[in-house]
Every structure is written in C-alpha cells, then in structure tokens.
Structure 1
Amino acid sequence: MPKNMQLNIVEPSNKRGLARQQKFLEVAENLFLTHGYANSSVNEIVRLAGGSLGTLYRIFGNKLGLFEAVFKRKSLEIFSEYSDGDYWHDDLEQSLFLFGKHLQSVALSTDGLAIYRLVITENNVDQQEIQRIFYKFGPEVAISMLSNYLKKHVDAGRITLFDERLAASQFLEMVKGPFIHRALFGETILDEELDCALEQAVKIFIKGCST
C-alpha cells in the first residue's frame, strides 16, 4: 500500500477496544453510504454501535477522522490482493485485464456508486476534505499501483510511455469512465458492454505503448 495510507488514529490496546473500533467503522460506513456524510451524526453512530461518544472521539479525533478511517478500511478491502507484488507479473495483457475487471466491478457496485454520489453531492464545510479523502484512498491508490507496475515494464524495455501515472489514469478511465454516469442515472450496464470496453482498452493501451 502507498505510504500515504497512514492515519493518525489511536489504535485500541485490547480485544474489546479493537472490537469497538471495528463496530464504529461498520456502522459509520453503512450510514455514510446510505445517508451521506452530513446526514450521518456521530450520536447516531454511537447509538447503533454502542460505546460512548468519548471513545469515538478518542479513537478517531472527530467525525472527519472517522470518515477517513472508514475510507481507509474500504480501500484496504478493495485493493489488498493487488498490494502483493506476486499479483503483478510479466504478462502485461493479463495483468491489465484482471486489474481493469476488478476496477469495473468496484466502481459500478452499489457501494462504489454510493461513494461517488456522496463525494460529488456533499455540500458542507468538510466537502473539500471529503473529496481529498476519496481521491487519496480510491483513485490515487489504483493509479499508484498500476503506474508502479507499468514503470517496471518501461524499465525493462518492454513498453514505452511518456508518463506512467498519466498512462495509468488514462487506462482506468477507458475501462470505467464510459459507464459511471450511465449507472448513476439508473441505467443497467450489461456485462457484454463492460467486457467489450475492457478488451478494447487493453488492446488500445498495449498497441499504443509497444516498443
């Protein structure tokens, strides 16, 4: 995982404290994704999770700190298997296809769309921080993972790119970008459409960066 995924939260020192922290995170995630950030109160989170408001603030600092911890947890859940270097191998086409497939499923899932709605529709004093947190634990992680992998191929002389991070961003947009707004507007995206976009993106990308 990228180094910037470290959070300044107070980790409980016993099993009971860890269980309480996880319960706060589970309840907060559900409320944030269902009702948005502004409409989810820390008092309601404590009521549903148990414990006390003092414990929540001691662990997470404030509501925004809890929100950030929720997104870090979600990011680890989404990207954990791809943080292992063994996942990425010399077969560029297969690696791109598998990673792209995973990103499509994440971005267009119920939770993925709920997160996107939350980020673009929140209008409160924490909006800028919410967007920063989303980018840090979502797109930034995916782009960093893919760009690091692409750089290894560039360094090995297998492909040529002007900028690995830009190329990673462009690839990710090709596989999920055409469908996000359609899904947000309630359209059903067919598996055949997703597969076609992914296969075409992989072919275009590989042909464009071939030495």
Structure 2
Amino acid sequence: MSQSAIQKNAEPSNKRGLARQQKFLETAEEMFLTQGYASTSVNEVVRLAGGSLVTLYRMFGNKLGLFEAVFRKKTMTFFNELEEGVVWSDDIERSLLGFGEHMQSVILRADGIAIYRLVLMENNADQQEIQRIYYKYGPQVAIKMLANYLDKQVDADKVVIQDTYLAAAQFMEMIKGPFVNRLLFGEVISEKEVHSALLQGVQIFMKGISK
C-alpha cells in the first residue's frame, strides 16, 4: 500500500489511547535519534512501547507519519519554550541575543545534531519527505518567528530591511556558524565559541539593518 493511501484516524480521545500514543512517540523518538530513520522498525517500536501495529498505523498512518508526529511534538515543545523564554521588546539587539541564544541551545545540542544528521545524511525512500517535514516544523517556524518580529520593527521605522524572511534566515545561519558541521564530524565545541558567534552575529546583523 502506498503512503498516500494510508490515512490516520483522529487523535485518541480517552486516557488509555492518549497514553499509548505518548508511549509510541517517546519510543520512536529515542529510536529515530539513536538509530536513524532507515534502521528504525515500527515493529520494534511496538515491541518496546506495547500495544499493536494496527493501533500504531491507526494513529500515525505509517512510519513516515510516526516520524512527522515525533518531530512536530518535539519542535512544538521547543518553540513554546522559546516564546515563553524570549522577551521580544523594542530593544532589538537584546531581542536578537535572546532569540539567538535559545536557537543555539537546540540546534547545537546532541539531539539537534542527531536530527540534522538524520535529515541530511541518510539515504532512504522517504528522505525527500523527511526533509520537507524537518523544514516545515523546524527552520521555517523559527525563521517566520524572527521575521514577524523584524516586520514590526520595520513598520515602526526603526530598521531598514528589504526582505525580513531572508534576513531572518541569514541571521540563523550566522549564529549556527561552522558549528553544526564540526559537531557532525565529532569535534567538541566550547560554550565560549558559541557565545562569541552569537555576539558577533548580532553585531554584524545590527549594522546591516540600522538606519
């Protein structure tokens, strides 16, 4: 059966169903991060989490649907924390520092690098869809969040930016620096290096958008 032919049902409405769904997600997340997508078996997820394959397919549709649910839940948790932790204010530099620090904390931590490795380096039939899911729930959300803030600053006539979405994406790349590739290759990155990249990124960005 093709992936498009498999349809998942509505979210479970009872406590037992919700608990089973949560267990599937927790088990699958650990397996995806430690083993990768291709090596993760839905049968093994069911064996470790309990329940049945029929239940898993009813909830998530297929393996790709399970991955999407895992990644969506993970990113939603982070972005909710980001909204609570970052104080968007008229102090643009301070807002950028807060946003950048939160983004670095998730991009450069172990599970962030594991997801990045899965998305970029695996070769499987679902890879194109995996990359779409990653961008939709990860970078795209972060970029839009910062672009919306920059839009408000442009409207207030505080900065000059031709394309706020592009500017937000460029800021993200600056604070990531070379660290993602270095971590993928097994290097150890110091907090001082990461913080220096953030400070310099904000400094360069502010000079570029200031009136």
Task: Determine helix, strand or coil for the equivalent of 2:23.
Answer: helix
Residue equivalent to 1:82: 82
Q: What is the identity, as a one-letter code, of the residue corresponding to 1:95?
A: S
How do 1:51-200 and structure 2 match up within 5 A? Answer: 51-83=51-83, 87-200=87-200
* Conserved? CA contact 2:151–2:164, under 8 Å: yes
Hey, what's the Cα distance between the residues in 2 that align with 1:64 and 1:89? 39
TM-score, normalisation: structure 2: 0.93
Hey, what's the Cα distance between the residues in 1 that align with 2:102 and 2:83? 13
- Cα deviation 1:8-37 (Å, max 9, x = unaligned): 762101011101101100000000011011
Identity value in percent: 65
RMSD, matched Cα: 1.5
* Conserved? CA contact 1:100–1:175, under 8 Å: yes
Hey, what's the Cα distance between the residues in 1 that align with 2:85 and 2:189? 32
CA separation of 1:189 and 1:145: change in aligned 2, threshold 3 A: same
Structure 1, unmatched stretches of 5+, are: 1-7
Q: Which has the higher contact order (CA 8 A, sep 6+)?
A: 1
Q: What is the identity, as a one-letter code, of the residue corresponding to 2:151?
A: K
CA-CA distance at 1:108 after TM superposition? 1.0
Task: Determine helix, strand or coil for the equivalent of 2:178.
Answer: helix
How do 1:19-30 and structure 2 match up within 5 A? Answer: 19-30=19-30
Aligned length, in residue pairs: 204
Q: What is the identity, as a one-letter code, of the residue corresponding to 2:70?
A: V
Hey, what's the Cα distance between the residues in 1 that align with 2:198 and 2:89? 19
CA-CA distance at 1:178 after TM superposition? 1.8
Hey, what's the Cα distance between the residues in 2 that align with 1:60 and 1:11? 9
CA-CA distance at 1:84 after TM superposition? 5.8
Hey, what's the Cα distance between the residues in 2 that align with 1:97 and 1:37? 34
Residue equivalent to 1:5: none
* Conserved? CA contact 2:177–2:197, under 8 Å: no
Instruction: Detail structure 1 runs of 4+ shifted over 2 Å in the superposition.
Output: 81-87
CA separation of 1:188 and 1:85: change in aligned 2, threshold 3 A: closer
Task: Determine helix, strand or coil for the equivalent of 2:20.
Answer: helix
- Cα deviation 1:61-101 (Å, max 9, x = unaligned): 11111100001001011111334698322111111101111
* Conserved? CA contact 1:179–1:189, under 8 Å: yes
